[in-house]
């Protein structure tokens, strides 16, 4: 197997010049660099990336953490990650962590592998964990973390604005009895403003609910607590949780004419419950979700939703990380605005003052 000295002899340069060609090509004259690369190709030389990592203090590798490999949301996010990291010369490896002890083990691993940076998507990373990584020289970016930690770059989708988009769409269609299906609660805590038995377990459920409240109040519509129902926002239980929540809403004496679910999986479960109970969507009940995962355009009827710009989320997360790795000025916090996607699951409400003839 060829080594650096073999390449140097064939190219007629020093071993240091060969190393510089790989690590700092801009410091090598073009003709010299061309000779070295021809020798590399002829000898089929492959540099030892692990040795380079030890010497240079970097690995040209980025770790990306996600809470679930089953959630279809992260597919397009990862496209944005790799489309941005690869042209910059970085490899990406995916870390899946669904429990605190798994996170700790994987943090140990990425420190041991001398990765250059890590992006955490939709995970509750703590200040202590970040400080540990930063002491080891690992740059970090948080995406949709539960808290925005000072001196750490973060990125998030504006979930309040997304909740406002979804609810405004239903209000503009003339709906008045608008229900909301949200994620899990923490029974021991009580939020201000609305009397639930607990507080949302995750920040995004609170923010998406806040957008709903903002528009309902702006429109002068009553917030009926019986129409605010807990679902299950997890990947594994989202559809089933949405179905249960929708079934409960349909048992109400006066069921809602429209439902805004805080993610698409719960919205799809709501569609299933309507079909099971022989309610037509959107003729009897309109349903809108949040995220715009790929399956939204495939269900029957295709689901109206709030689109998170997932490729953009992945792209900007890596750009933030590359700025930090290269010690360019950090941009601290960035917020990406979502957009409304109207499909066939929403229509003018039967309770609209100007709907022609009531229900269709």
* CATH numbers and ranges of domains, the chain: 4-47 (1.10.260.40), 58-151+309-337 (3.40.50.2300), 159-304 (3.40.50.2300)
The two beta strands, 91-96 and 61-66, are parallel
**Of residues 4, 35, 33, the one with CA closest to residue 21:** 33
> Which two structure tokens, joined as six digits, stand for 351?
């309770």
**Distance from C-alpha of 328 to C-alpha of 324, rounded to nearest angstrom:** 6
- Mean pLDDT along residues 311-328: 88
> What pLDDT score does 310 carry?
94
Residue 179 has pLDDT above 80, yes or no: yes
Place of tokens 């953490």: 65
Is the Cβ–Cβ distance between 193 and 217 less than 8 Å?
A: no
Peptide bond before residue 282 is cis, with ω within 30 degrees of 0 = yes
> What pLDDT score does 148 carry?
81
> What pLDDT score does 55 carry?
45
* Cross-strand bridge partners of residue 118: 63, 140
Is the Cβ–Cβ distance between 304 and 276 less than 8 Å?
A: no
- Mean pLDDT along residues 342-350: 92
Rounded to 5 degrees, what are φ and ψ at 132? -60, -45
What does R_g of the chain's alpha carbons equal in angstroms? 26
**Of residues 5, 116, 105, the one with CA closest to residue 53:** 116
pLDDT in tens, 48-63: 554 444 444 557 899 9
- Strand intervals (E) in 75-189: 91-96, 117-121, 139-143, 153-157, 178-182, 185-186
pLDDT in tens, 209-267: 999 999 999 999 999 999 999 999 888 889 999 999 999 999 999 999 999 999 999 99
Quick one: 44 exposed, middle or buried, by C-beta within 10 A (0-12, 13-18, 19+)?
exposed
Quick one: 135 exposed, middle or buried, by C-beta within 10 A (0-12, 13-18, 19+)?
exposed
**Of residues 175, 207, 212, 170, the one with CA closest to residue 191:** 207
pLDDT in tens, 91-121: 998 998 777 778 888 998 888 888 999 999 9
Residue 182 has pLDDT above 50, yes or no: yes
First to last CA, the chain: 76
Peptide bond before residue 301 is cis, with ω within 30 degrees of 0 = yes
User: What is the CA angle 70-74-75, rounded to 5?
Assistant: 90
């Amino acid at each position: 197997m060829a080594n650096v000295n073999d390449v140097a002899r064939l190219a007629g340069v020093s071993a240091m010049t060969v190393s510089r060609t790989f690590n700092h090509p801009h410091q090598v004259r073009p003709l010299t660099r061309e000779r070295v690369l021809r020798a590399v190709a002829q000898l089929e030389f492959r540099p030892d990336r692990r040795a380079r990592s030890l010497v240079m203090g970097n690995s040209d590798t980025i770790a990306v953490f996600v809470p679930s490999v089953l959630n279809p949301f992260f597919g397009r996010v990862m496209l944005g990650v790799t489309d941005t990291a690869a042209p910059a010369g970085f490899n990406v490896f995916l870390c899946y962590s669904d429990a605190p002890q798994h996170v700790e083990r994987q943090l140990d691993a990425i420190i041991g592998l001398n990765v250059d940076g890590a992006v955490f998507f939709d995970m509750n990373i703590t200040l202590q964990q970040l400080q540990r990584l930063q002491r080891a020289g690992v740059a970090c970016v948080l995406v949709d973390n539960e808290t925005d930690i000072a001196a750490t770059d973060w990125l998030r989708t504006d979930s309040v604005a997304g909740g406002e988009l979804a609810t405004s769409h239903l209000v503009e269609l003339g709906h008045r009895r608008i229900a909301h299906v949200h994620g899990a609660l923490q029974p021991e805590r009580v939020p201000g403003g609305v009397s639930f038995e607990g507080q949302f377990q995750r920040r995004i459920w609170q923010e998406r609910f806040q957008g709903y409240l903002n528009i309902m109040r702006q429109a002068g519509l009553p917030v009926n607590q019986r129409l605010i129902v807990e679902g299950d926002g997890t990947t594994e239980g989202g559809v089933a949780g949405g179905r249960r929540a929708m079934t409960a809403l349909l048992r109400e004496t006066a069921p809602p004419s429209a439902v805004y679910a805080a993610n698409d999986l719960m919205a799809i479960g709501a569609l299933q419950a309507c079909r099971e109970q022989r309610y037509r969507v959107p003729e009897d009940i309109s349903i809108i979700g949040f995220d715009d995962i790929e399956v939204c355009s495939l269900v029957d009827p295709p689901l109206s939703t709030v689109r998170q710009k997932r490729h953009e989320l992945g792209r900007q997360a890596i750009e933030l990380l590359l700025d930090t790795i290269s010690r360019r000025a950090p941009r601290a916090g960035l917020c990406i605005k979502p957009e409304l996607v109207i499909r066939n699951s929403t229509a003018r409400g039967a309770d609209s003052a100007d709907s022609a003839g009531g229900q269709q």
